Structure 1
Amino acid sequence: MSYSRFEDALAKAVAERRIAGAVALVTDRDGALYEHAHGARTAGQDVAMDAGTLFWIASMTKALVSVGALKLVEAGKLTLDEDLARLIPEFADLQVLDGVDADGKPKVRPARSPITLRRLLSHTSGFAYGFTSPDLLAWATATGAADPSSGSRAAHKQPLVFDPGQDYIYGIGIDWAGVVIEAASGQRLDAYLAEHVTGPLGMADTGFKLSPDQAARAASVHVRGPEGVMPIPFGLPPEPEVLPGGGGLYSTAGDYGRFLRMLMGSGPQLLSEATLRELATLQTAPGVGGFKSALPGMSHDYDPYPGMPTGYGLATLITPDPTGDGRRGGSLTWAGLANTYYWADPVDGRGGVLMTQLLPFADPEVLELFKALERDAYGV
């Protein structure tokens, strides 16, 4: 299988200083078929990208945390549809944004339905991000509320943008799912994932904190400037009250490939076949899954498959139809804020990862690189 189209496109993007570098991996159920690194970990420095490079994978964290939560469902410690207020006191009196008052200030009212694990995992709980909801962004601006990225638990108790179960919006539901995991398991989220998810899969380079060795292998986050990409200061809160289950992990392409093989039913199996089927079943109305960005400096608008009836399952976006670039219908996919992307195709038994570190999200050129990787992987 030739990956010349992808490699040529990546080399061109690096040479033109459109990105600093990237690592790509394609795997089948038996192991990695292809891995390629090109460029630098930090623009302007001589340390090259390689298979050992660590990336902040941001929202690619969500699938791992979701699998961790589903393991607790299988263990009988959680159910998908119970009212989680029994475990999470903040869920007992949640408010919903309900327009603005005469002075232009956001109004709220009590939520009319409960928060459940199914709703958290499928982004139908009503929890949003400021960058996906202008209404929530306006509320935060009007109230001076702290952002959940601060790591404060109090900052995570924000108003919902609709009643739980009534709509879809991409948001902090999986951060709350991490808090639910801690309440149900009695373990801190990092320890729980290490014991029940990343450890069994052999994902030794995946975690919320970097060791000195890992920090030395980490890629910098970049933005584009007048002279090309340039690194920017970046760091997550070192000791957050709430570990960011929606976006706090670092990992490598190889580690994430191990997780994709599990999603495709191979290697160490963390979930039963029945739970894997449920994970890959649409939990939302068809035709949702992307978002309009309220903060263009953080993310572009993201609709990876316009016209396809995509929707969210219990861990990932589901593409029910063939993509036209190789993937079969029923494939699983999502991404991370700094332009990291993956797919897992359970029908064909093939998955892929593309890791960069560039803001804002949904960069058109990186998306084209991801598409080129998929096309070469399938020989399309």
Structure 2
Amino acid sequence: MTIVDVQAMDSLLREPVDAKEIPGVVAMAADRGGRLYEGAFGVRSLATGVPMSLDTVLWYASMTKALVATGAMQLVEQGRVALDEPIGRIIPALAAPQVLDGFDAAGKPLLRPAKRPITLRHLLTHTSGFGYDIWNASVERYMRENGVPLLVDCKLSSLGQPLAADPGEKWEYGISIDWVGQVVEALSGQSLEAYLTEHLFKPLGMNDTAFIVHPERRARRADVHQRHPDGSLETIDHEISQEPEFFMGGGGLYGTAGDYIAYIRMMLNDGRAPDGTAVLQPETVDLMGRNAIGDIEAGVLRPVLPKLANDTDFFPGMSQKWGLSFLINTADAPNGRSAGSLTWAGLANCYFWIDRTKRLGGVVMTQILPFGDPRVLRLYGAFEQQVYRRLAKAA
């Protein structure tokens, strides 16, 4: 049953498009029973002017992470891997990790053995020590000075990075879930795309979600736009490698807002697909949504590459935790989200939330760099607030 005022929600989403603050947006909200709202406004590309639509294919970027984590947790359920065993048993390249302790006077990286083994739990919670060049200056320098390819190139050597911290000691946002994708492949004997398609996408009807954008989907794909310091927007040539040496589990998927809402509904329904198929066991969904990092704080991002990301703190002043693999707000949030809800985002300003207490979730998806765009974040907050207000009125 629709609970939102469609006209009011349409107006809310259309306003920043008409003001030329964003090129286009797709937004959806859902509860356990189905979609409560869906809308698409603006254009897929400023260069072409093709209208945004509900079936527009967008780059999920790091919204990929939750999907890959779900695949890994299916294998945990099957007893194929334990959360706290050394992952070097499965991925020999991670058996003896090295920590980057800076650089000597000549610029040579200072490496030492990690204090403890990396586990799947470390990888799923971004406490493995692996970082991203976008948010860690030492990682950025190491990659640049040692010729490590960018992740979007999907070269196996892209993963050849030392740790920025010892496993288990801090939340360091990075390439951990790319390694989780390698775990899924090693245990399943399938490519990451084949595994997720069979065990997640098909059961949920996520028919437009994939790493490789085939021609029919390419015709519906939105372009990425770069926002310049003066606020103007430019269409840019941006695509994850379509001839990958590895599937980028941390951010390589493309798909539609409707596909992602199908995933959110599965999580709201305790792991069940619409036809009743168990994608995950209820206890696994519960586990994924609990704090898995103890006293460590998570979620606040301070970039070193401002062209790609802005400073971002989704819940200022609030203790934030991480599950397997979601950001968790520990108190009720101002827009109506319950404490203990799950969320994350994608680099091109795509955002989702899953409120398992109120059984409500949603996505707001654009294709704009840098991440943490204030205009998109305002829209995301207003959209969420409107959904919760309507839910309260319907109660």
Q: Cα offset for 1:265?
A: 2.1
Query: Which of 84, 87, 109 is the equivalent residue of 1:84?
Result: 87
- Is 104-113 or 300-309 further displaced after alignment? 104-113
Structure 2 equivalent of residue 376 of structure 1: 386
- Kept in 2, the 8 Å contact 1:17–1:229? The answer is no
Tell me what 1:130 maps to.
133
Equivalents in 2 of 1:109, 1:9: separation in Å? 53
Q: Write the distance in 2 (CA, Å) between the matches of 1:178 and 1:95.
A: 20
Task: Indicate the residue corresponding to 1:204 in structure 2.
Answer: 207
Taking every aligned residue pair, what percent have the same amino acid on both sides?
Answer: 44
- After superposition, what is the alpha-carbon deviation per residue over 1:146-181, rounded to whole angstroms, capped at 9, x for unaligned? 233321222202110111111111100000000000
Q: Equivalent residue for 1:160? A: 163
In 2, are the aligned partners of 1:354 and 1:370 still within 8 Å (CA)? yes
When the two chains are superposed, the root-mean-square deviation of aligned CA atoms in Å is 1.6
Aligned letter for 1:119?
A: H
Uncovered stretches (5+) of structure 2, i.e. residues with no partner:
391-395
Please report how far the alpha carbon of residue 73 of structure 1 lies from its aligned counterpart in structure 2 after TM superposition: 0.5
Q: Partners of 1:9 and 1:105 in 2: how far apart?
A: 52
2:288 pairs with 270, 279, 288, which one? Answer: 279
Taking structure 1 as the reference length, what is the TM-score of the superposition? Answer: 0.96
Whole-Å separation in 2 of the counterparts to 1:144 and 1:50 = 40
The code of the aligned residue for 2:108 comes to: K
Counterpart residue number, 1:341: 351
Structure 1 residues 227 and 72: alpha-carbon distance in aligned structure 2, compared to 1, 3 A threshold: closer
> Does structure 1 conserve the Cα–Cα contact (< 8 Å) formed by 2:58 and 2:221?
yes
TM-score normalised to structure 2 length: 0.92
On the 8 A contact 2:226/2:370 being kept in 1, the answer is: yes
Give the corresponding residue for 2:239: 235
> Aligned partner of 2:288: which letter?
L
Which moved further from structure 2: 209-218 or 27-36? 209-218
What pairs with 1:107-118 in structure 2 (closer than 5 Å)?
A: 107-118=110-121
Query: In structure 1, what residue type is equivalent to 2:244?
Result: P
Moved more, 88-97 or 340-349: 88-97
Cα distance in 2 for partners of 1:227, 1:365 equals 10
CA distance in 2, matches of 1:297, 1:227: 12
Does the 8 Å CA contact 2:213/2:242 hold for their aligned counterparts? Answer: no
Counterpart-to-counterpart distance in 2, 1:120 and 1:173: 5
Name the SS for the 1:311 alignment partner.
Answer: strand
Residue 363 (str. 1) matches residue 373 (str. 2):
yes
Aligned positions of 1:1-380 closer than 5 A: 1-2=4-5, 6-225=9-228, 228-265=232-269, 267-268=272-273, 269-284=278-293, 285=295, 287-379=297-389
5+ long unaligned stretches in structure 1: none
* Letter in structure 2 aligned against 1:221: V
CA distance in 2, matches of 1:235, 1:314: 27
Match of 2:393 in 1: none
Deviation, structure 1 residue 6: 4.9
Q: Match of 1:93, SS?
A: coil
**Inter-partner Cα distance in structure 2 for 1:282 and 1:373:** 26
Q: How far has the Cα of 1:42 moved from its partner? A: 1.0
Give the Cα–Cα distance (whole angstroms) in 1 for the partners of residues 181 and 265 of structure 2.
23
